[in-house]
Amino acid sequence: MAGLNHTLALKKNLDQRARERFTSSLRAYTLVDLADQLRSDYSEEQTAVEHPHQSGEDVHRFLKSRDLFKWYSSLRCTAQELVWQSTLRALDEDRTTLAGLSGVTQVAPEKSAVGGSLALDPKLSLPSYIDTMDVHLMPGNYQGDREDVSVHPGAVYDNGLEVFSFGVMGEHLDDIGHSMANFTRLRWPGLTVDTVVDVGCTIGHNTLPWKQAFPDAQVYGLDIAAPCLRYGHARAESLGVAAHFRQANCDQLPFDDGSVDVVFSSMFLHELPRNVINDFFKEAYRILRPGGLIIHMELPPNEALAPYDAFYLDWDCFYNNEPFYKEFRDLSYPALCRDAGFDESAFFQATLPRYTYVDEQEFRDAIDRTASFDEDTGRLSDTITWYAFGSRKQG
Ligand SMILES: C[S@@+](CC[C@H](N)C(=O)[O-])C[C@H]1O[C@@H](n2cnc3c(N)ncnc32)[C@H](O)[C@@H]1O
């Protein structure tokens, strides 16, 4: 792990680095080596059975009592907790790096060194699904439970994701954003991109690449959690990228009808209850101009996957405090777009290689193919392919 590459990066001693390396290695071992063994043992056992499993639920039921699955799940839960514990420890040991940011509340573009901004809405109330659980076991969740450092959850997320992703998500943990923005640039070369809104942006890892791919665009990162936005704004400034961070609920987007070219989200929908997803899609449709694009990076839908792959990706729903994960992946994504007003014929989906790990030609070649689903789709490893779906508003 190279370490976070911006001025908010914590000062870490050798013990801390060792803790993080151990946790990342444990995750890589569990998610790559042990996961491969689980898959191959399962396949071997299932060869030539009379009634093969028909769904992810069947596979889960079958594997639940197996020692290897218990071992895999137990290690994965332990590694998940270690991600956050090691991060909290690093934050406690270096309070000074973030302390100066605690007063960041509103920053107008003219006050920003690079032209970005931050606007918070102190009247916004948090929905109960956020306020009452720690999603993926992250202590304090996105809104945080510490009064002393108002950017604390943002720092937990940034440092935690670095450990969590064991080096496969890009130098700035932003490969998803680069893949999605450059896919958009190459797949729709005629699309006017003046305004991009990344909804559920957290600290903007995948917001900033849109500004890099479309330098003339106004790029907004929206989230409900103020501490993440404060940190995201400071991080963007330190990386020299002009982005505008806004606090809002996705069911009420602060943009006029027909005023936005691209509505983007990444790893967001699976953390929302169904009614909020529907409201968000309707809002996205409202703010898009005719011809505008909605694009979501997400986990692939269960209906497109073989039963084992569906089971594998649903693991988080049962063991990692991601209660809406499976319900979301059981949805029909084309129907979700259609029900919000998008024409059915405009639906698209794609599986993309990591952008910052391949050359432009390899990426171009990959986007010419239609979506292809296999064990690499959405599964965190160095062969991962990112899945995207979306639609365009009728012009
Ligand atoms: C998994 S994170 C998204 C990750 C981020 N998009 C990225 O690519 O790094 C989910 C985010 O959704 C935000 N969120 C949850 N419910 C929301 C809502 N109703 N409106 C806006 N943001 C919401 C959370 O605060 C959290 O930051």
Nearest to 390 by CA among 365, 366, 371: 371
Q: What spacing in Å lies between the alpha carbon of 362 and ligand 1's midpoint?
A: 31
* pLDDT given for residue 111 in this prediction: 82
The pick from 173, 223, 253, 282 for probing ligand 1's pocket by mutation, whose C-beta has the most ligand atoms within 8 angstroms, reads 223
* pLDDT given for residue 6 in this prediction: 78
User: CA–CA separation, 189 vs 72, rounded Å?
Assistant: 44
Positions of the chain with pLDDT lower than 50, given as ranges: none
**Domain map of the chain by residue range?**
1-395
**Does ligand 1 lie within 6 Å of residue 249's CB atom?**
yes
* pLDDT given for residue 112 in this prediction: 85
* DSSP state at residue 377: B
**pTM to 2 decimal places:** 0.95
Continuous H helices in the chain: 14-28, 35-46, 56-63, 67-93, 96-99, 128-131, 152-164, 175-187, 208-213, 226-239, 274-287, 307-313, 315-319, 325-329, 333-339, 360-367
Residue whose CA is closest, atom 14 of ligand 1? 200
Backbone angles phi, psi at 389, to 5 degrees: -140, 165
Atom of ligand 1 nearest to the CA of 198: 6
* pLDDT given for residue 113 in this prediction: 85
Q: What spacing in Å lies between the alpha carbon of 253 and ligand 1's midpoint?
A: 14
User: Helix crossing, 14-28 with 152-164: angle to 10°?
Assistant: 60
Q: At the topology level of CATH, where does 1-395 sit?
A: Rossmann fold (3.40.50)
**Does ligand 1 lie within 6 Å of residue 206's CB atom?**
yes
**Does ligand 1 lie within 6 Å of residue 294's CB atom?**
no
**Does ligand 1 lie within 6 Å of residue 276's CB atom?**
yes
**Does ligand 1 lie within 6 Å of residue 324's CB atom?**
no
Q: What spacing in Å lies between the alpha carbon of 103 and ligand 1's midpoint?
A: 22
Which residues, other chains included, contact 240 with Cβ-Cβ below 8 Å and sequence gap of 6+? Answer: 114
Q: What spacing in Å lies between the alpha carbon of 388 and ligand 1's midpoint?
A: 17
User: CA–CA separation, 66 vs 38, rounded Å?
Assistant: 10
Nearest to 198 by CA among 208, 188, 212, 213: 208
Q: What token pair was written down for 71? A: 């071992």
| Cβ–Cβ < 8 Å for 79, 33 | no
The pick from 156, 159, 224 for probing ligand 1's pocket by mutation, whose C-beta has the most ligand atoms within 8 angstroms, reads 224
Which residues, other chains included, contact 336 with Cβ-Cβ below 8 Å and sequence gap of 6+? Answer: 277, 278, 281
Which residues, other chains included, contact 361 with Cβ-Cβ below 8 Å and sequence gap of 6+? Answer: none
Q: What spacing in Å lies between the alpha carbon of 256 and ligand 1's midpoint?
A: 21
User: CA–CA separation, 315 vs 388, rounded Å?
Assistant: 20
